[in-house]
Structure 1
Amino acid sequence: MSDNRDGNQEAQSWQSLAFLWTGSMICIPSLLIGGTLVSGMPLWEAVLVGLLGYGIIVVLMIFQGIQSSDIHKPTVSVASQVFGEQGSKKIISIILAVACLGWFGIQANVCGAAFSQFLSVYGINLPVPLSSLIWGIIMLLSAIYGIKILNILNYVAVPILLAVCVYAVAVSLMGDGVAQIKNYLPAGSMSFLSGLSITIGSFALGAVIAGDYSQYAKSRKDVGKAAFIGILPSGVLMITVGAILTLTAGTADITSVFTELGLPVLGIIALILATWTTNAVNAFSGGIAIINVFNISKEKERIAVAIAGGVGTLLAVVGILDYFIPIMSVLSAMIPPVAGVMIASYWVIQKGDKSKWASKAGINFLGVISWLVGAAIAGIPVIFSFFPSLPQLPNQPLIGMVISFVCYLVARNIIVQKQVSINQ
């Protein structure tokens, strides 16, 4: 198969890809997950949940990433075989675009609000909408200039973020911090499976779209090394840091911890860098999805990313995105089943042979229906959570993926058997 890699994007090393994944993992939500887990289970169990949960994420990322590395195309383009070109463009790409760009806008708003609050400490009044706009544009610019700029950003930000997290833990352990951890008994009760679900769900979207970045990897081995080294250590570290801060400081929010210590500058640096590294990935993947929806040429990729991210930022500035959170939550739950169908097709049916991959014209209803079954089941617990009067079901992101995986294989086997019978 010829190399279809974009000429403007050179192959990248596994180290740079690993840094990108680490930058995505080191974020405020990852710390909050650690706090959530330790509120219902012992510290050692929370760390074990993180290890297993992110281990599963790594496996999914490798399966997804190698497909794109083999074909040299992003996730939505690789999906055109199993969903059909139109199915990939009109269904999967739109869902990915709305989810990625919606969360981009919300994160830009969170960063803007925190920055405005930080400036107010020094008597400077910067309106939150203006602050959100400024940081949204800054984050968007790093995504517009592609994977090279994202790599540079992560090479700078990741060491700083790691140092800040380690320092926060060291400070929190002073005094009676160690004794608090030793004597800690969780106030609530959370099952191991529930904790696992929360952990996997936190990065399920990232696992599905891993191919957007792994398409530039030099080999399958590089995809695996980058995912393992980029996700597992940083993911477990964030959960551990978040858990320890919750036990010793009463909160997993690292900005609040540093503010209470009289070091608000460190706190805002941590928040901005953590949001920036994660949000640039949202904008880049959202832009790729938009390109696929409207069949935009690769030469105009930067314009597409700029427009898409700009719309997300403006919506955040005017506050409209707050009303879209329920919609984006449902869409985010519907994305993991995409990987179930893609993995079934590429790794089970094609046995990982890239020469058997070919984009299909129109809509591949077998793939779309298989995904829809898993997506509907995965979305039900999220929808129910918006209505307290309804039964509250556990949100298990892997269930939808497994159901789509099985549906595709079973349905395809039935179709093949019928074709054999007709030919006989």
Structure 2
Amino acid sequence: METTTLAEVPMEERKSWIDVAMIQAGIMICVPSLMLGGMLVEAMSFKNAIISGMIGYVIVAVLFCLMGVIGSDIGRPTCVTAIAGFGRKGTRYIISTLIFISMIGWFAVQTSVCGNAFSSLIKSSAGEDFPPQASMAIWGLIMLVTAVYGINALDWLNRISVPALFVITIAGTVLAVNKYGTGNLFNDPDKPGMTIVGGIVLTVSFMAAGCLAASDITRFQRTRRDTVLSSVLGVSPAGILMVVLGAVMTRVAQQYDLTQVFVMVGLPILGMIVLIAATWTTNTTNAYSGGINAVLMLRLADDRRWLATMVSGVLGTVCALLGLADHFEAFLYILGDLLLPTMGVILADYWILGRGKPENFHMPQGFNWLGIVSWLAGYAVIRLIPQGIPFAQGILAAGLLYIILTKLIGRPQDKPGYVDAELTDRL
């Protein structure tokens, strides 16, 4: 059972970049990722959908690296790395709460998709009615168990599941193409409902919570090199593959959901295996990050993370039963709008003001209003200026304003007489 939560992860507990890359890839491989490919290809040409997904996931990988290296440098999760820019109370009451809600939402979406698909598979393969609500409850609790045990359980799960999922998802797409042909593959919509820029925005918004929470996993990396390798090779290839497969299956089989495609080609058991494994590798991380943020929110001891994780997963399962997944696309945009500008503050504080040096990282008490005001300004830019690339403009606006304000007013840790609290103090 993992017991290191807000404290620095000791070097002897850290892992190889391959182990962390498997966890990152496992986050990418899921039914909603296939859904993203389907959403893109239904709104634009096949070529533009793939371009949007590829560019989007390259940007996601860059954000993962920038956020993740901070975590590996100081060995702490995102909710701790955010304290420098938002203050301890600002992070506890605002940033951690926001991430916690996001992770519960993602857990709900994944559990709902898994529950509904599992019930459909039972119906189509065995002819038996299995209530989706019961399926959601069962699988939500099963997936929660891995998250409760922590990083070692995530490592074990993804080491087994990810290579198998790569092979099976590609094989399923090939079967779909063989059965239905490629006649509809380039049958593009007459009037595209989304531009390439819009597709990029949707893709990055899709992974906004994951980018922000990158340090929750990369704190277990030994070096910056390991963090970059695991982030680039774990995130981009798996994410782009899911977009491509989701787009191809939506066009040729009129179905983005690979599990249903397996049913359509006469292999329901294989579809069920993919459904469970793909959802499990992603959803367990959602509950895991939710639990870490709950520890800070509720001022729990490090060794109570398991309990906070369990509560997070149960809340996510309840949200699934209430139908959160019905508002999936709107949820993605709202999530990205709220989360992305916080990265502008965190990145500016560490990489520019702190010059990327761990020894310059501090954790001021109270609220750092400079960071909070900058974050809100970045959010306003995203909402009020839809032209261009809103998420990039929001991140840059938040970061630049934070730098300007700190130069004019000064951060709490820059004031004369400031003494940083011991990093081992309970937050």
Shift of 1:14: 0.5
Query: Partner of 1:351: helix, strand, or coil?
Result: coil
Post-superposition shift, 1:202?
1.3
Query: Aligned pair in 2 of structure 1 residues 328, 370: CA closer, same or farther (>3 Å)?
Result: same
**Equivalent residue in structure 1 for 2:112, among 109, 112, 115:** 109
**Measured at CA, do residues 211 and 272 of structure 1 come closer, stay the same or move farther in structure 2, by a change above 3 Å?**
same
2:381–2:390 contact (8 Å) kept in structure 1: no
Instruction: Indicate how the Cα distance of structure 1 residues 291 and 131 shifts in structure 2: closer, same or farther if over 3 A, else same.
Output: same
Q: 2:155 aligns with which of 151, 166, 176?
A: 151
Checking the alignment, whether the CA contact within 8 Å between 1:39 and 1:187 is kept in structure 2 is no
SS in 2 for 1:218: coil
Taking the aligned partners of 1:244 and 1:404, their CA distance within structure 2 comes to 37
RMSD value, Cα: 2.7
Is the 8 Å Cα contact of residues 80 and 360 (structure 1) preserved in structure 2?
A: yes
State how far apart, in whole Å, the 1-side matches of 2:15 and 2:397 are: 34
1:264 pairs with 2:268: yes
Equivalent residue pairs, number: 404
Contact 2:31 2:113 (C-alpha < 8 Å) held by counterparts? no
Check 1:321–1:151 CA distance in 2 against 1; reply closer, same or farther (3 A cut).
Answer: same
The residue identity in structure 2 corresponding to 1:293 is: M
Per mean C-alpha deviation after superposition, the further-off stretch among 113-122 and 342-351 is 113-122
Query: Secondary structure of 1:174's partner?
Result: helix
Give the equivalent residue in structure 1 for 2:146: 142
Runs of 5+ unmatched residues, structure 2: 1-5, 415-427
**1:347–1:396 distance in 2 versus 1, CA, 3 Å:** same
Please state how far the C-alpha of 1:125 moved relative to its aligned partner.
Answer: 3.4
The equivalent residue for 1:413 is: 407
Displacement, 1:40?
Answer: 4.1
Deviation at 1:251, TM superposition (A): 2.2
Instruction: Please list the CA deviations of residues 328-376 of structure 1 after superposition, one character each: whole Å capped at 9, or x if unmatched.
Output: 8635530111111000111111110110101101111101111122124
Residue 364 of structure 1, aligned match among 363, 368, 371: 368
Counterpart code for 2:120 = Q
How far is the alpha carbon of 1:266 from its aligned partner?
Answer: 2.0
* Contact kept? 1:99, 1:328, Cα under 8 Å: no
Q: Partners of 2:28 and 2:300 in 1: how far apart?
A: 30
Supply the distance in 1 between the matched residues of 2:286 and 2:12 (Cα, whole angstroms): 18
Please, which moves more after superposition, 232-241 or 258-267?
A: 258-267
CA distance in 1, matches of 2:197, 2:204: 10
Is contact 1:101-1:283 (8 Å) kept? yes
Unaligned runs of 5+ in 1: 382-391
Q: Given the alignment of the two structures, is residue 18 of structure 1 paired with residue 21 of structure 2, yes or no?
A: yes
Of 77, 89, 92, the match for 2:95: 92
1:400 to 388, 394, 412: 394
Q: Which residue of 2 aligns with 1:51?
A: 54
Residue 188 of structure 1 corresponds to 191
Q: Where does residue 423 of structure 2 map in the other structure?
A: none
Amino acid across the alignment from 1:72: G
SS in 1 for 2:178: coil
Give 2:313's aligned amino acid. Answer: G
Q: State TM-score, norm by structure 1.
A: 0.88
Distance 1:110 1:368, change over 3 A: same
Using the alignment, how far apart are the partners of 1:115 and 1:194 within structure 2? 32
Alignment match, 1:81 = 84
> Alpha carbons of 1:32 and 1:290: their partners in 2 closer, same or farther (altered >3 Å)?
same
Shift of 1:176: 6.9
TM-score normalized with structure 2 length: 0.87
> Contact between 1:157 and 1:277, CA under 8 Å: does it hold in 2?
yes
Q: CA deviation at 1:48?
A: 2.6
SS of equivalent residue, structure 2 residue 49: helix
Aligned to 2:67: 64
Give the distance between the partners of 2:245 and 2:334, measured in 1 at CA: 29
Correspondence 1:336-351 to 2 at 5 A: 336-351=340-355
